[in-house]
Homo-oligomer: A and B are copies of this chain.
Amino acid sequence: MSCNFGNDIKLTIFGQSHSEAIGAVIDGLPAGFEIDFEKVAAFMARRAPGQNDLSTPRKEADAVKILSGIVDGKTCGAPICAIIENTNTRSGDYDKLKSVPRPAHSDFAAFMKHNGFNDIRGGGNFSGRLTAPLCFAGAVCMQLLESKGIRIGAHIASIGKTADEKFDAVNVNSADFDKILAKPFPVIDDKQGEYMRKEIYDAKENGDSVGGIIECAVVGMPAGIGDPIFDGLENRISAAVFGIPAVKGIEFGAGFESSRMLGSENNDDFICENGEIRTETNNHGGILGGISSGMPVIFRCAIKPTPSIAKEQKSVNIMSGEAERLVIGGRHDPCIVPRAVPCVEAAAAIVIADYIF
């Protein structure tokens, strides 16, 4: 079912870009866990728009309102429902789109699925805005994981043709995450970050947009978590990460690069160090046979350029079939990648917490 995810910790996401509210229901959390709501808000702020000159100036009031599941700041075993009211919606902008689908948006596919009854305003429930409840759920799951010594962090691995350093797949750790979190632009190599920002500016100035890659790591992950065949870490993490609009690819460990390697290059030898068995390299991205090896879980996902661009595009009227020239009004993120970083962390947190709790 479209809006549900998880087995033991179950997440339900609802809402449309311009509905009364959007929100999440999270069931299966252990009772008695104290949630730090300031930390939740800080996490969600990383996703919120209007943070800087690269982001859409729309000011969403992403204030989370807890409807259930919390008593005296602690989980009570009942599902948490959290909502975010949609206060800043200008539905007038979207009238024409009902019949003239925007390229690379869900408009046409949604129209075909729902016989035109889909909510077109702001992309309806296909909107990137639905990642706000995802981030709420992820922030909660992350706190649960941190209580078990598991940390999740991500950075921008590339924007357009400019790449950041990769995480050190063997040694990446909590301190690396903290360093990235302290930066306004979440990269490892700030010099590369400057070039990335330039790619975004250039796209913006040209009425265009640009994509990128996000790399995410899970550290402190115990060995033995996961399952083979259909329920492994790769199956579930990918299923969650593709829930973020604009993700078009995912790879674990050496990923696509491993397809170009010899076995003798790609295989990670086992060694024993200080009484702990680990691998010398980490091309397997911390996952063997769908199960965690105890090494950092590493994955990267590809984010396509923002579909909404200022340039004129070609489309057709769904009803009449007539060609149309489409110019998308409003102001949009020229690059969604920076705001997608916490979303990727959130998706990973939801999956890992579901296995662990």
Question: Which positions in A face B, CB cutoff 8 Å?
Answer: 1-5, 7-8, 10, 12-16, 19-23, 25, 27-28, 31-32, 65-69, 71, 74-81, 83, 101, 103-110, 112-119, 121, 124-126, 130, 158, 160-161, 203, 206, 208-213, 223-232, 234-236, 238-240, 242-243, 245, 247-256, 258-272, 275, 277, 279-280, 283-285, 287-294, 302-309, 311, 313-316, 318, 321-323
- Asked if A242 and B248 make an inter-chain contact with CB atoms under 8 angstroms apart, the answer reads no
Whether A266 contacts B104 in the complex (CB less than 8 A), given A78-B15, A79-B125, A253-B248, comes out as yes
- Asked if B260 and A68 make an inter-chain contact with CB atoms under 8 angstroms apart, the answer reads no
Contact of A272 among B69, B213, B229, B323 (CB under 8 A): B323
Contact of A226 among B28, B113, B227 (CB under 8 A): B113
Q: What chain B residues lie within 8 Å of A68 (beta carbons)?
A: 14-16, 19-23, 125
- Asked if A117 and B77 make an inter-chain contact with CB atoms under 8 angstroms apart, the answer reads yes
- Asked if B270 and A315 make an inter-chain contact with CB atoms under 8 angstroms apart, the answer reads yes
Q: What chain B residues lie within 8 Å of A253 (beta carbons)?
A: 248
Q: What chain B residues lie within 8 Å of A292 (beta carbons)?
A: 109
With contacts A248-B254, A272-B321 known, what are 8 further pairs, Cβ within 8 A? A1-B28, A5-B230, A13-B229, A16-B68, A71-B117, A108-B288, A238-B239, A263-B305
Q: What chain B residues lie within 8 Å of A109 (beta carbons)?
A: 223-224, 226, 287-293
- Asked if A260 and B160 make an inter-chain contact with CB atoms under 8 angstroms apart, the answer reads yes
- Asked if B225 and A269 make an inter-chain contact with CB atoms under 8 angstroms apart, the answer reads no
Contact of A32 among B14, B117, B309 (CB under 8 A): B117
- Asked if B3 and A27 make an inter-chain contact with CB atoms under 8 angstroms apart, the answer reads yes
Whether A104 contacts B284 in the complex (CB less than 8 A), given A113-B225, A225-B113, A259-B213, comes out as yes
Q: What chain B residues lie within 8 Å of A232 (beta carbons)?
A: 2, 242-243
A2 to B86, CA, bound (A): 29
- Asked if A238 and B238 make an inter-chain contact with CB atoms under 8 angstroms apart, the answer reads yes
For residue A247, give the distance in angstroms from its CB to the closest CB of chain B.
7
- Asked if A19 and B302 make an inter-chain contact with CB atoms under 8 angstroms apart, the answer reads no
Q: What chain B residues lie within 8 Å of A105 (beta carbons)?
A: 288-289
A316 to B31, CA, bound (A): 23
- Asked if B263 and A76 make an inter-chain contact with CB atoms under 8 angstroms apart, the answer reads no
Closest residue on chain B to residue A225 by CB atoms: B113
8 closest A-B pairs by beta carbon, nearest first, are A106-B289, A249-B251, A209-B263, A112-B224, A31-B114, A2-B227, A78-B125, A109-B291
- Asked if A23 and B294 make an inter-chain contact with CB atoms under 8 angstroms apart, the answer reads no
- Asked if A108 and B20 make an inter-chain contact with CB atoms under 8 angstroms apart, the answer reads no
Whether A12 contacts B25 in the complex (CB less than 8 A), given A68-B20, A228-B2, comes out as yes
For residue A128, give the distance in angstroms from its CB to the closest CB of chain B.
11
Whether A256 contacts B2 in the complex (CB less than 8 A), given A104-B284, A263-B208, comes out as no
- Asked if B272 and A103 make an inter-chain contact with CB atoms under 8 angstroms apart, the answer reads no
9 contacts between A and B (CB under 8 A): A1-B227, A4-B27, A71-B121, A76-B118, A109-B291, A210-B263, A213-B256, A230-B243, A250-B251
- Asked if A31 and B234 make an inter-chain contact with CB atoms under 8 angstroms apart, the answer reads no
Closest residue on chain B to residue A276 by CB atoms: B321
